[in-house]
């Protein structure tokens, strides 16, 4: 496992981190297998874990808390998130800061996360939605100052809304935010336009989330894929999205080098960008953990392939199903 310096946090984090949403929020999870997968990830050098109170109302955080205790001899970095007070994902431009992140709510949910994670201090606390129009409010900054001065949080970050990578640029300039989490993959290359240059200038840590476009970039979804009722993906992969996403993913298949899987190509594409410090694929099986951590071997994609993949950029804008 290779490591990268996580912006101004100074932490040396694994190029492949661990996305912990699906294991406590999606249907069909085998909890015994998940625990084996998490153990295996530690063994294979993963040291960055991304969770949220919103992933199973604290269930995912509790799983991470137990993992950190079991591996107390290793430095595992925990990143979690504060849900918006109105519990609506993502935020909309007309939502106010008071509706989403009043100071008391930031503090209340940080206390809940501390309990769930069973730690005295959270390495990285992130806002789970964001509107850049909130940049100049003092409310959230006061809460940050209080939690940091009490030693309850080391760094604060923002997880930007799907397909809105620029909806944080002014906030990053306030100096209160040390990291950003953004969707970045073969399709979603738009963080390269404005967000990554600002992160480089300000030495902001960058987490690439949803590396597989929620699954299509693994090449395992088809136009007939059906998700169980109650699984979030059933509401995201509506026919309009599933059909278009599968078409875009299938267009990549002819580019696959011999012996490389679609998932591997998707991760390698992201690792070719030094602006990214860690990728957090969602993983619920030992098999996927082994496959994904193996990709961090220092080998870059061939430049001609990288150029071709760049042409598969697919700019999308939020819709009622994109969430
Ligand atoms: N608003 C936010 O802040 C926000 C939103 C979304 C996600 N996130 C974070 O980002 C993380 C990653 O996003 P995500 O989990 O939604 O989507 P993702 O990482 O793009 O895709 C996850 C899917 O890929 C599958 N997969 C993983 N490795 C594979 C491999 N080697 N071969 C084939 N399939 C593979 C997983 O299967 P299994 O599950 O069966 O292993 C799962 O179905 C989340 O877990 C969460 O931590 C944050």
> What is the CATH classification number for the domain harbouring 214?
3.20.20.100
Instruction: Indicate yes or no: pTM above 0.85.
Output: yes
* Domain membership flag for residue 296: yes
CA 110–ligand 1 middle distance (angstroms)? 24
pLDDT at 25 over 90: no
Residue 4, φ and ψ in degrees, nearest 5: -135, 150
The mean pLDDT value of the chain amounts to: 97
Name the closest-CA residue to atom 40, ligand 1.
284
Count of beta carbons in the 10 Å neighbourhood of residue 200 = 13
* Domain membership flag for residue 316: no
Sign of CA dihedral 291, 292, 293, 299: positive
Name the closest-CA residue to atom 8, ligand 1.
209
CA 212–ligand 1 middle distance (angstroms)? 7
Residue 49, φ and ψ in degrees, nearest 5: -125, 125
pLDDT at 295 over 90: yes
pLDDT at 15 over 90: yes
Q: What is the pLDDT of residue 53?
A: 98
Q: What is the pLDDT of residue 275?
A: 98
Q: What is the pLDDT of residue 70?
A: 98
Name the closest-CA residue to atom 25, ligand 1.
215
Pick from 26-35, 87-96, 148-157, 240-249: least confident: 26-35
Helix axes 59-70, 103-117, angle to 10 degrees: 50
- The confidence band for 101, taking pLDDT boundaries of 50, 70 and 90, is very high
CA 9–ligand 1 middle distance (angstroms)? 25
Name the closest-CA residue to atom 3, ligand 1.
159
> What are the tens digits of pLDDT across the range 176-208?
999 999 999 999 999 999 999 999 999 999 999
* Domain membership flag for residue 75: yes
- The confidence band for 47, taking pLDDT boundaries of 50, 70 and 90, is very high
Q: What is the pLDDT of residue 249?
A: 98
Beta pairing, strands 3-5 & 48-50:
unpaired
Buried b / exposed e over 263-287, threshold 16 CB at 10 Å, is bbbbbbbbbeeebbbbbbbbbbbbe
Does ligand 1 come within 6 angstroms of the Cβ of 218? yes
* Domain membership flag for residue 322: no
Is residue 228 within 8 A of residue 27, CB to CB? The reply is yes
Domain interval for residue 65? 3-310
What integer is the mean pLDDT of 305-311? Answer: 98
pLDDT at 27 over 90: no
Name the closest-CA residue to atom 47, ligand 1.
19
* Domain membership flag for residue 320: no
Beta pairing, strands 12-14 & 3-5:
antiparallel
CA 215–ligand 1 middle distance (angstroms)? 7
* Domain membership flag for residue 154: yes
Helix%, strand%, coil% for the chain, nearest 5: 40, 15, 45
Does ligand 1 come within 6 angstroms of the Cβ of 19? yes
CA 211–ligand 1 middle distance (angstroms)? 7
Phi-psi group of 19: left, alpha or beta (phi > 0 → left; psi -120 to 50 → alpha; rest → beta): beta
Pocket test for ligand 1, best of 46, 59, 212 (most atoms within 8 A of CB): 212
Does ligand 1 come within 6 angstroms of the Cβ of 288? yes
Sign of CA dihedral 28, 279, 76, 300: positive
What integer is the mean pLDDT of 294-308? Answer: 97
Q: What are the helix (H) ranges across the chain? A: 22-25, 31-43, 59-70, 97-100, 103-117, 139-149, 169-172, 195-202, 232-236, 239-250, 262-271, 286-294, 303-310
- The confidence band for 230, taking pLDDT boundaries of 50, 70 and 90, is confident
Does ligand 1 come within 6 angstroms of the Cβ of 291? yes
CA 149–ligand 1 middle distance (angstroms)? 34
What integer is the mean pLDDT of 64-81? Answer: 98
* Domain membership flag for residue 149: yes
Percentage of residues in the chain having pLDDT higher than 70? 100
- What is the total count of domains within the chain? 1
* Domain membership flag for residue 28: yes
Does ligand 1 come within 6 angstroms of the Cβ of 263? yes
Pocket test for ligand 1, best of 49, 79, 210, 256 (most atoms within 8 A of CB): 210
Residues 251 and 118: their CA atoms lie apart, in Å, by 45
Q: What is the pLDDT of residue 35?
A: 97
């Amino acid at each position: 496992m290779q490591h990268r310096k996580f912006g101004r946090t100074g932490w040396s984090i694994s190029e492949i981190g661990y996305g912990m949403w699906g294991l406590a929020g999606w249907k069909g999870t085998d909890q015994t297998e998940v625990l084996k997968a998490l153990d295996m990830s530690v063994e294979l050098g993963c040291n960055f874990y991304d969770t949220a109170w919103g992933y199973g109302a604290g269930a995912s955080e509790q799983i991470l808390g137990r993992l950190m205790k079991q591996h107390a001899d290793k430095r595992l970095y925990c990143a979690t998130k504060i849900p918006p007070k109105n519990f609506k994902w993502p935020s909309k431009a007309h939502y106010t800061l008071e509706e989403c992140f009043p100071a008391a709510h930031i503090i209340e949910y940080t206390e809940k996360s501390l309990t769930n994670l069973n730690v005295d201090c959270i390495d990285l606390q992130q806002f789970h939605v964001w509107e850049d129009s909130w940049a100049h409010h003092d409310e959230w900054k006061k809460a940050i100052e209080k939690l940091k001065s009490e030693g309850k949080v080391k760094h604060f970050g923002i997880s930007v809304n799907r397909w809105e990578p620029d909806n944080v640029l002014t906030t990053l300039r306030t100096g209160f935010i040390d990291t950003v989490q953004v969707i970045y993959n073969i399709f979603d290359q738009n963080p390269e336009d404005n967000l990554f240059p600002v992160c480089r200038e300000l030495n902001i840590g960058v987490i690439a989330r949803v590396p597989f476009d929620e699954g299509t970039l693994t090449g395992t979804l088809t136009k007939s894929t059906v998700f169980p009722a109650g699984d979030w993906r059933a509401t995201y992969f509506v026919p309009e999205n599933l059909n278009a996403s599968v078409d875009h993913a299938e267009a990549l298949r002819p580019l696959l080098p011999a012996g490389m899987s679609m998932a591997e190509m998707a991760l390698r594409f992201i690792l070719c960008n030094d602006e990214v410090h860690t990728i957090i694929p969602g993983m619920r099986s030992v098999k996927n953990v082994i496959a994904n951590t193996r990709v961090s071997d220092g080998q870059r994609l061939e430049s001609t392939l990288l150029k071709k993949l760049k042409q598969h950029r697919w700019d999308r804008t939020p819709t009622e199903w994109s969430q």
